[in-house]
Homo-oligomer: A and B are copies of this chain.
Amino acid sequence: MTARAIGPLSLNTVTVKERWGLAECIEGCARHGIPGISPWRDVLQAMGVERAARQIRDAGLHVSGLCRGGMFPANDAAGRRAAIADNRRAIDEAQAIGAACLVMVCGGLPPGSRDLPGARAMVRDGLAEILPYARDAGVVLGLEPLHPGTCADRSVLSTLGQALDLCDALGPGMGVAVDVYHVWWDPDLDRQMARAGSRIAGFHVCDWLVPTTDLVFDRGMMGDGVIDIPAVRAMAEAAGYRGALECELLSRRWWGEDPDRVLETIKERHATVC
Shortest beta-carbon distance, A66 to chain B, in Å? Answer: 26
**Given A147-B148, A147-B149, CB of A228 within 8 Å of CB of B187:** no
A152 partner residues in chain B, CB cutoff 8 A: 185, 208, 210, 212, 225-226
Docked complex Cα distance between A90 and B225 (Å): 32
How many copies the complex holds: the figure is 2
Interface of chain A: mostly helix, strand, loop or mixed: loop
- Among residues of B, the one whose C-beta sits closest to the C-beta of A165 is B187
Question: Is the CB–CB distance between A228 and B115 below 8 Å?
Answer: yes
A184 partner residues in chain B, CB cutoff 8 A: 116, 151
Question: Is the CB–CB distance between B149 and A226 below 8 Å?
Answer: no
A162 partner residues in chain B, CB cutoff 8 A: 187-188
Docked complex Cα distance between A161 and B116 (Å): 19
Most buried by B among A165, A208, A225: A208
Q: Decide yes or no whether A1 CB sits under 8 A from chain B.
A: no
Shortest beta-carbon distance, A250 to chain B, in Å? Answer: 15
Q: Decide yes or no whether A186 CB sits under 8 A from chain B.
A: yes
A113 partner residues in chain B, CB cutoff 8 A: 226
Give chain A interface residues in 74-121, CB to chain B under 8 Å.
Answer: 109, 113-116, 120
Docked complex Cα distance between A184 and B117 (Å): 11
A227 partner residues in chain B, CB cutoff 8 A: 114
**Given A114-B226, A211-B153, CB of A159 within 8 Å of CB of B147:** no
A114 partner residues in chain B, CB cutoff 8 A: 226-228
| Interface positions of A (Cβ within 8 A of B) | 109, 113-116, 120, 147-149, 151-153, 156, 158-159, 161-162, 165, 184-188, 208, 210-212, 215, 225-228
A-B contacts, 26 listed (Cβ < 8 Å)? A109-B226, A113-B226, A114-B226, A114-B227, A116-B185, A116-B228, A148-B149, A149-B149, A151-B184, A152-B185, A152-B208, A152-B212, A152-B225, A152-B226, A153-B210, A156-B185, A158-B186, A158-B187, A159-B186, A161-B187, A161-B188, A162-B188, A165-B187, A211-B215, A212-B215, A215-B215
